[in-house]
């Protein structure tokens, strides 16, 4: 079932067109990686989804309910974590989550239960009574996730939540999002491709105001897999490597050979048929093979392939 739908959404600021007939869907229970260059319109899209900006045309639905600009009823279904969450520094985490629960219309019993549950989930147990002005950036991002989940939303929107965190903080936040997926659908905006590959199962690439590539990440990678086999030689075999490489280049089924130190990338016509022939050739060579595998496409390679230079826009 579809959780979020955008249909032909366009948005301009004066003469600057930011979104152009943007359409995509986010399925329930998924983590959708919404990626694009800085300034590609990701934040603009998310502000439209939560009713903070009005689209010039098109429509947005959350679980079949239309999103309206302003005080939209669909926000009861959505949790939002901005890229730089702001808090009242004089409050502590429990006070802030209680405040957010009241805004969401929750009763006191549910607020207390949910706040305690989320404090544990996001790893702030033991720090819940500290004033927020003393929280680090990573702790604030954790609390941001907790406040976005206080009312049990069906959709969690995260706008570049890891962009300013150190590697440890990024890893911790991604682990939290991976755990949260059991209770909500996640729209995860970022320009850090490694984060998308780590936790997302669907991806949409935003370029020049429209979706340039969209779908299941594994399916996309499989569709763009090239017939290239990576062969890694042992260190002791490097002396015989030039002879092996020359021999591979002479084979009729080999389309290309790229060699750098101990790695040889061999392009073939058919992975199945030619791969067996290549294995037989390597078995008879003087080199010891440590690794033989099909080269998998990376999200970075796909990203570079689909994005063409476009005019810089604001988000």
Domains of the chain: 2-222 (3.40.50.300), 226-295 (3.30.70.920)
Q: Does an H or E element contain 19, and which?
A: strand 16-27
Instruction: Give the pLDDT of residue 124.
Output: 95
CB 51 within 8 A of CB 25: no
Q: How far is CA 250 from the centre of its chain?
A: 42
Q: Would you write out the chain's pLDDT as a tens digit for each of its 315 residues?
A: 899 999 999 999 999 999 999 999 999 999 999 998 878 899 999 999 999 999 999 999 999 999 999 888 999 999 999 888 889 999 999 999 999 999 999 999 999 999 999 999 999 999 999 999 999 988 999 999 999 999 999 999 999 888 778 888 889 889 999 999 888 999 999 888 888 988 999 999 998 889 988 999 888 877 766 678 888 888 776 677 888 888 889 899 888 888 887 888 888 877 778 888 888 888 887 777 888 877 766 777 777 766 644 444 344
Instruction: Give the pLDDT of residue 82.
Output: 87
For residue 253, what are the contacts with CB-CB under 8 A and spacing of at least 6? 268, 269, 270, 273, 274, 277, 278
For residue 252, what are the contacts with CB-CB under 8 A and spacing of at least 6? none
- What is the rounded CA–CA span in Å between residue 41 and residue 242? 49
- What is the rounded CA–CA span in Å between residue 171 and residue 159? 16
């Amino acid at each position: 079932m579809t959780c979020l739908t955008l249909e032909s959404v366009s948005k301009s600021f004066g003469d600057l067109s930011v979104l152009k007939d943007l359409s995509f869907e986010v399925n329930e229970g998924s983590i959708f990686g919404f990626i694009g260059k800085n300034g590609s319109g990701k934040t603009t899209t998310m502000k439209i989804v939560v009713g903070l900006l009005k689209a010039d045309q098109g429509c947005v639905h959350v679980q079949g309910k239309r999103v309206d600009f302003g005080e939209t009823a669909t926000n009861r279904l959505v949790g939002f974590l901005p890229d730089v969450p702001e808090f009242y520094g004089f409050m502590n985490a429990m006070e802030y989550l209680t405040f957010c629960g009241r805004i969401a219309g929750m009763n006191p019993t549910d607020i207390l239960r949910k706040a305690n549950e989320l404090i544990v989930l996001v790893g702030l147990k033991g720090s819940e009574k500290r004033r927020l002005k003393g929280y680090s950036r990573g702790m604030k991002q954790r609390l941001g996730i907790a406040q976005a989940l206080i009312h049990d939303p069906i959709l969690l929107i995260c706008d570049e939540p890891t962009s300013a965190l150190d590697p440890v903080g990024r890893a911790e936040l991604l682990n939290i999002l991976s755990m949260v997926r059991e209770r909500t659908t996640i729209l995860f905006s970022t320009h850090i491709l490694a984060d998308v590959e780590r936790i997302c199962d669907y991806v949409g690439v935003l370029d020049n105001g429209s979706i340039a590539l969209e779908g299941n990440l594994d399916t996309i990678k499989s569709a763009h897999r090239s017939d290239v086999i990576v062969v890694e030689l042992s260190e002791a075999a490097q002396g015989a490597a030039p002879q092996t490489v020359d021999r591979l280049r002479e084979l009729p089924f080999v389309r290309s050979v790229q060699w750098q130190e101990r790695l040889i990338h061999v392009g073939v016509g058919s992975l199945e048929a030619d791969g067996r022939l290549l294995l037989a050739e390597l078995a008879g060579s003087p080199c010891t093979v440590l690794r033989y595998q099909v080269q998998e496409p990376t999200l970075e390679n796909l990203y570079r392939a689909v994005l063409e230079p476009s005019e810089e826009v604001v988000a």
